Structure 1
Amino acid sequence: MSNQVMGPHVDIDQRSASVLPRQEDIADWASGRRIFVSSLITDMLNERAASRSAIADIGADPVMFEHELGAQDVSADEAYLAGVRGSDVYVGLWGPRYGVRMSDGYSATHAEFLEAEKQGLRLCLFVGDANSADFDGQQRDLIAGARNLYTTSTWQTIDDLQERIRTRLMALAAEDLAPWVRLGPLFFRATDISGDGTKLIIKAQVRSASVHAELVQLRDARTQIVFASTAESKVVRIDRLSSTMRSTNVHDETIELSVVSQGQSASAVFRLGSINGVPSDEVQKKSLAAGLFGEPASGDSFSPWGALTAPVDPLKLIRRLGLDDSVLRPIVTLLITQHLFESGSAAVVNAVVLGPSVVGKRRLKVTWTPPKIYDNVPAPSTVTIEGLLSGV
């Protein structure tokens, strides 16, 4: 992997993607975190035991029907779905059998997976030898559908499965403990973000010499730039940069920022709430889908929406850069989240899911909740766009 990726007005510290947090930080992350294990129970006793061990190894709490969810005065269906809803991470172990269909038409494991998707749980999907002729047709359909959006892993032995689950959970911890951020044209992972609304302090371990050099230039220029994370977007100015060289091309950075503005520039369509009776969230949805997927912004070229439905592509900075998946996925999430916050489209970004590359295309699904325009109206329903991305 190269030290950084350069494009028009973008510099990405790719090497920081491989940095793992300290064991004590992982232990803090895992403490109290509930991890739901989903599989056919009788078919996978050894696999479930391995999953339980892997979860306990990092200090998290396993949630399993035969241990944590049994002996309740509710139906089994209610117990396992409540278990999913009360968890933070979903571990799915899918073997050759689909399982017995319940009253809703799904097997228990399929229903658990759908509930985990609905609740926005982090997903860890492991599939046995799906090339085997022993797989049920329904199970093949479930796996194929999941692989449109999610990357799955196989396993060879019980010990191999246990280590793969542990490794995946460690990667989730790293993503949470060192999230990707954007500072002007620079993208890197932050180890700490703190602030009081007027000031921000960002700590990071930067492993790209060019990213470090550009941070120094941004500090000296004292210009206004955008800071974005998956939680916020603000216009800022660098007040101070403290840097310690840990080793060649590795700098521990402390970046002190002044907040100039919140970075939100809601469009006229959002402030009005609708145009000619068309809800603003629908306008924003069409505009974003047009930019991301190349879909028509509206069915009428003489639409009164005019420039408000012009295609908007938050990913134009990183298209054609050929980023590794470990870098691409979080940066896609970051850029789309930044656009939704800055445009006033979203109060909450519920999920950004990028699928694996298939013949040069990736399926992307984005779900967000628009802000309430008036206090005396019900909360708006979530908005979802889904389609195929090219050039990423």
Structure 2
Amino acid sequence: MKVFISSVTHLLSDERAALPPFLRLLHHEGLRFEDFEAQNRSSREACLAGVEEADVYVLLLGPKYGTPLPDTGRAPTAEEFTRARQRGIPILVFNKVVDEPDEPEQRAFKAEVGHYVNGRLWRSFMDPLTCNQAVGEALEQVSVSQGPLRKENPTGAISVPWISEVSADDGSGQTLANWSQRRGGGLVPSSVYAPVLELHVVPDGTVPYLGAADMARRAQSLAADVRTSNFVGNADPLDVNSSDDLAWAVRPPHSNRTFGNEVTVEEFRGALATRAGAAGAFRALDTDTMGALVDQASLQEALALLFGLASPHVVETENVAVAVGLVNADRVWEGDPRRMGGRNSGHMRTTLGAAVRVGGDFVVAKDRLSGGFGDLGADLAHTLLQRLRDLR
């Protein structure tokens, strides 16, 4: 496997130097930022290039945050971690035990990382030897779990919180105030004509009781996550609220509608969590006058991003179901998304409202799923494309 090693150099240079030769002994290839920086790339492009090539992401944490990149204000390790989440590859985190306090920025970053990996993939080390040992043991577990996910029948009914159906009334009498009128009372405003891709992770079985205070905290956690992952920009509006049954953090719709056949970006996206312990994320697809184009690769990438946003917010449970849907699927066609804006022929539909939904009828082990979403995401994308073909 190709293993990308992400860290600052402060107190971690010896570990960075020792890991690649150790990984070669285990028949893995260690990748680091310095392997890519001499390829006529910017610093950000170099660190992200390494993550793009990796099968596994290894994050070594110490007390220092690192120097923020000028274009994003986030340290390279934070950028790399976000990209690994977006790709859905296994993430392994290791914290060095040192007698030095964490910088405030690093405390916040560790909290972000710990929230995502949920404690199960977090280990400590003291020096290069114990670092090598911890990484080697973790990679061995990843190798063992690389086989196909075993799908089983749910123990009960799986209730998926589809965004066109959930109720999002915060009790004020104004459902998600300042939004346009909704179709059928769901989260999707009537002003959104773009197709909306959604992914949900739903626990199987009984979950702990969640009260109003729990739902309010979940809403704030969703908001922090969509911001820190750059899913919603820091300067963009974000509606954050909760009801008895639903918590949400949603970027209200705003499109850069243009004349002609140029690509339109509909900035409607967000994340939600339910009292029943489920969590989901969604985003509107880019369109031109003929609609949106998707293919296997673009769907897999989009689903991995949504999974990375949703999975940390699912309650602790043994098994989960994963379901994927498309709202306004009438405006989605199979094809290379790079062709949008330059098409001079094709089909255009003016009707709206068709929904395509896949998954949700089987469960998989949550601890296996959190380590890597690749195979299941590929299956879901493939099935979604098949359902789109059936619409035609």
* Band of TM-score, shorter chain: 0.3 to 0.5
Question: What is the TM-score normalised by the length of structure 1?
Answer: 0.45
Greater share of strand residues, 1 or 2? 1
Question: What is the TM-score normalised by the length of structure 2?
Answer: 0.45
Larger Rg over CA atoms: 1
